[in-house]
Amino acid sequence: MQWLLFATALFIAFSNGANDNFKGFATVWGSNTLSYRRALALATLATALGSLLSLLLADGLVQQFSGKGLVPDNLASAPEFILSVSCGAGLTVFIATRLGLPVSTTHALIGGLIGAGIGHSPALVNFDKLLNTFLLPLLLSPLLAGLIGVCSLPLLQLLRGTVQLAPASGPSAALGESEQGGTPAFSWLSQLHIASAMAICFARGVNDTPKLAALMIAAQLVSAQQSIGLIAATMALGGWLFAHKVAKTMSQKVSQMDQGQGVRANLITAALVLFASKFGLPVSTTHVAIGSIAGVGASAGTLNWPTLRNVLLSW
């Protein structure tokens, strides 16, 4: 049973990496700032760094996603319960990834926790904690991200009056190829765009790793430090091998963005996810990122409503 629990916990981490690792760089690839492979390499690095530091920055999430408080402690640490949660969440995220749908591992884990609890005994599930601690942050965070994305347009227009944010020729001109040696010639906006994308991936690593590590810690498989390291490595591998379909959906199908819009969306996402992680609020990086991209795209008139509808239905 111990080895089976170990394998399923790593499987959900692998699926999480495949679905989530690239999301911070969706606007970077979508605006032709970097190639897919370069963007993926930086996304993987930033996610791994966030994962390794999550034990210091987001220890509250480890406790929440162990299931304790949501179901009785003895049930939350039972091997059969943890196995049920891991299998349900892992399969859901992996199937969505193969279909190119950007879904929330956070939602999948909560669904697994609730489903396994109800399967054991509906009376044991603390639905008040489910509503106040989990559902409210998950429901409100994408709406808040979208609202900030829409409202940030006047600020950007104000900045345009004093700072040249991007070359007048369009988003692809913000990053050109140097005539000498083919070295990328980054504008300061390109650098800010990439830095904001790395901040999102870092924030996602901080926010998601404790949720996955909790599955191992609750079963007393490994120490917290060992669990974090294993989750970080497995997430990185899943993203490197299977991120492309979800990356294409978020980068090219939700909204066409230029560099200025991409920076706005990324900074909103990173700020909200890091804030939530610090205070132990279990938000979904996927939902916040989609909300930010949709809000910025709506304010610019470039939002692809049919694609957004399909993404929302997948949630």
Phi-psi region of 4 (alpha: psi -120 to 50; beta: other; left: phi over 0): alpha
| 111 burial type by CB count under 10 A (0-12 exposed, 13-18 middle, 19+ buried) | middle
pTM, rounded to two decimals: 0.76
Rounded to 5°, the CA angle 184-188-193 comes to: 85
Q: Is the dihedral of CA 287, 289, 290, 292 positive or negative?
A: positive
Q: Which residues, 6+ apart, have CB-to-CB distance to 119 below 8 Å?
A: 84
How far apart CA 296 and CA 265 sit, in angstroms, is 6
Show pLDDT as tens, one digit a residue, over the chain (315 residues): 777 878 888 899 999 999 999 988 999 998 889 999 999 999 999 999 998 888 776 455 555 555 556 778 778 777 788 888 888 989 999 999 999 999 988 788 888 888 888 888 888 888 877 777 777 777 788 888 888 888 776 666 665 554 444 454 444 444 344 333 333 445 888 898 999 899 889 888 887 888 787 777 766 767 777 888 899 999 999 999 999 999 999 998 998 888 888 888 888 888 887 787 777 777 788 888 899 999 988 888 888 999 988 888 888
For the chain, helix, strand, coil in percent to 5 are 75, 5, 20
